[in-house]
Structure 1
Amino acid sequence: LRRPTFAVGYAFGAQQVEEVTVDEHDQRLDAIITERGLIVL
């Protein structure tokens, strides 16, 4: 059986912004890991 992929990105906490412009080819992340911890979206 095929399970959905859990997509995780990583970045520095200083790069965090409130909104990001999304293009048609972008893929949504489920979570982001920073030095401050895990952010589940």
Structure 2
Amino acid sequence: YKETLSGPTRLISIDGADHTFGSIPWQEELFSNTLEFILANLS
């Protein structure tokens, strides 16, 4: 599921992968960083 790691597509797929992300701390952190990056660029 590496395709979902880029940009807004990842935001859409996060709901379905929520149970997976909960058990993988580094991906959760990566997602948080990605989200912050996206939000920073939108403002």
Q: TM-score, normalization: structure 2?
A: 0.24
Using CA pairs below 8 Å that are at least 6 residues apart, which structure has the higher relative contact order? 1
Task: Flag the structure with higher helix content.
Answer: 2
Task: Flag the structure with higher strand content.
Answer: 1
